[in-house]
Amino acid sequence: MNADKAPPSTAASDPRGRVRPLLRTRQVREFTDEPIQDDVIDAMLEVARWSGSSRNEQPWRFVVIRDAATIARLAAAGMPQTRLLHTAPAAIAIVLPDEPDRAVSRAFDDGRVAERLLIAAGMLDIAAGIAWIRGDVRPAIREALGLPDGWLVRTIVGLGHPTAAARTPKSAPGEARRPLEELVHRERWSG
Amino acid sequence: MNADKAPPSTAASDPRGRVRPLLRTRQVREFTDEPIQDDVIDAMLEVARWSGSSRNEQPWRFVVIRDAATIARLAAAGMPQTRLLHTAPAAIAIVLPDEPDRAVSRAFDDGRVAERLLIAAGMLDIAAGIAWIRGDVRPAIREALGLPDGWLVRTIVGLGHPTAAARTPKSAPGEARRPLEELVHRERWSG
């Protein structure tokens, strides 16, 4: 038996097959000019809404941006991290309370919802990429989005349809991640 | 037409149906004593391995814990946040570099991988809950897991099969999350 050549299975008895949508989550940073349909945006927002958060506080708000001039302004403000927004026909800014003493906990929740949006994009046959907003860029982003005091944006998720180049994996299968034996310990670090 | 009574659809034209696995992600905090199969743990670890991270640094390591005495020690160390570990037959500790000047970025990556593990648990018909390890508890956790200097655990994901009580939603449908109109702005905050 050659496990490498086994056909993909989605049977209930095949755990790896069941989590396949999570194994193929990829970030995309270059999009075509094809727009995103309204019902796809709505599904993304439902996924965002149902994200879990510390004590179910749901600290986030979301700004959906489809206006090309606003997206261009966001893209220009935070280079190079915001480069992917240049070609995105839509974006979702994740807005969180600006509380320095809870920054780590808020960043954890930010990561949870951002990851859900990436996974949802894959399920919806669109693509997404995370633009990280550096601290020095946040005032310009706040201004562009009209945020009130006390809120900040650390993450903007760009959405679109991937270009052919963006669809092409940049590394050979198996090379994009460390092997499990390098990442995993059993029972104890030394184990 | 009564939209409330429409049967669920998974057609490609139904975006909300396609993201359904993400809408039903739930945390569970009480598990039966049924163990988790090895191939299910392996699938969880593949999901963890394929998580995205800042600059693909893959900063994490994972400690898989199935020894009841070790899990009991972790559960006792961080009460009340670690209570859910008391009944978990397995757990995955997310280990990250202890870099105070990158704590926010690392917490974002921590949230991304933790959320993926919750979603994977749902796809695998098991259940998971996130135990947050407070700063004052981390030395005890490091000791229990034999972590070397320079690493910390902020999150332990407990895994198991949910009890009947844990399966029962604690709130009526639609009440567990804020409505979209409270969370979403269009184009600008004021929009």
How many residues are recorded in chain B?
A: 191
Give me the mean pLDDT over the B64-79 stretch: 98
- The pLDDT tens digits of the residues spanning A70-125 come to 999 999 999 999 999 999 999 999 999 999 999 999 999 999 999 999 999 999 99
Which pLDDT value is given to residue B176? 86
Task: Please indicate whether, in this complex, the C-beta atoms of B124 and A18 are within 8 angstroms of each other.
Answer: yes
Whether residue B11 is predicted with pLDDT greater than 60 in this model: the reply is no
Give me the mean pLDDT over the A39-65 stretch: 95
B65 in reach of chain A (CB within 8 A): yes
Residue B72: count other Cβ atoms within 10 Å of its Cβ: 13
Structure tokens at B15: 């975006």
Which pLDDT value is given to residue A12? 57
Which pLDDT value is given to residue A172? 65
Alpha carbon of A66: minimum distance to chain B alpha carbons (Å): 7
d(CA A72, CA A66): 10
Contact in structure between A62 and A93 (CB atoms under 8 Å): yes
Question: Can you list the positions of beta strands (E) in chain B?
Answer: 61-65, 90-97, 127-132, 151-160, 184-186
Structure tokens at B91: 């757990």
- The pLDDT-based confidence of A10 (bands split at 50, 70, 90) is very low
Preferred mutation among A13, A14, A16, A19 to probe B, highest tally of B CBs within 10 A: A19
Which pLDDT value is given to residue B55? 85
Percent residues over pLDDT 90 in chain B: 82
- β-sheet with A90-97: strand ranges across: A127-132, A151-160, A90-97, A61-65, B184-186
In DSSP terms, B160 is beta-bridged to: B127
Whether residue B10 is predicted with pLDDT greater than 80 in this model: the reply is no
d(CA B148, CA B177): 40
Provide the ipTM: 0.91
- The pLDDT-based confidence of B12 (bands split at 50, 70, 90) is low
Whether residue B188 is predicted with pLDDT greater than 50 in this model: the reply is yes
Which pLDDT value is given to residue A3? 44
- The pLDDT-based confidence of A54 (bands split at 50, 70, 90) is confident
Identify which has the larger pLDDT, B19 or B166.
B19
Which pLDDT value is given to residue A6? 45
Whether residue B54 is predicted with pLDDT greater than 90 in this model: the reply is no
Task: Please indicate whether, in this complex, the C-beta atoms of A104 and B107 are within 8 angstroms of each other.
Answer: yes
Identify which has the larger pLDDT, A142 or B174.
A142
Report the SS3 class of residue A73: helix
- The pLDDT-based confidence of B167 (bands split at 50, 70, 90) is confident
Domain B27-165 has CATH 3.40.109.10: yes
Task: Please indicate whether, in this complex, the C-beta atoms of B148 and A64 are within 8 angstroms of each other.
Answer: no
Task: Write the burial class of residue B10 (CB in 10 Å: 0-12 exposed, 13-18 middle, 19+ buried).
Answer: exposed
- The pLDDT tens digits of the residues spanning A133-163 come to 999 999 999 999 999 999 999 999 999 999 9
Give me the mean pLDDT over the B95-99 stretch: 96
Task: Please indicate whether, in this complex, the C-beta atoms of B146 and A190 are within 8 angstroms of each other.
Answer: yes
Give me the mean pLDDT over the B26-52 stretch: 96
Which pLDDT value is given to residue B1? 40
Task: Please indicate whether, in this complex, the C-beta atoms of B62 and A185 are within 8 angstroms of each other.
Answer: yes
Task: Please indicate whether, in this complex, the C-beta atoms of A115 and B110 are within 8 angstroms of each other.
Answer: no
Percent residues over pLDDT 90 in chain A: 82
What sign does the CA torsion over B153, B159, B164, B170 have?
A: positive
With contacts defined as CB-CB under 8 Å, which chain B residues touch A132?
54, 105
Contact in structure between A16 and A3 (CB atoms under 8 Å): no
d(CA A93, CA A91): 6
Name the residue with tokens 């727009």.
A35
Measured distance between the N- and C-terminal CA atoms of chain A, rounded to whole angstroms:
30
- Among A25-29, A167-171, B180-184, the minimum mean pLDDT is found in A167-171
Contact in structure between A75 and A133 (CB atoms under 8 Å): no
For domain A32-163, the CATH architecture is 3-Layer(aba) Sandwich (3.40)
Which pLDDT value is given to residue B172? 65
Whether residue B98 is predicted with pLDDT greater than 50 in this model: the reply is yes
Which pLDDT value is given to residue B9? 45
Identify which has the larger pLDDT, A148 or A5.
A148
pTM: 0.91
Whether residue B36 is predicted with pLDDT greater than 90 in this model: the reply is yes
Average pLDDT, chain A: 91
Residues 125 to 184 of A: which have CB under 8 A from any B CB?
Answer: 125, 130, 132, 145-148, 151, 154-155, 176-178, 180, 183-184
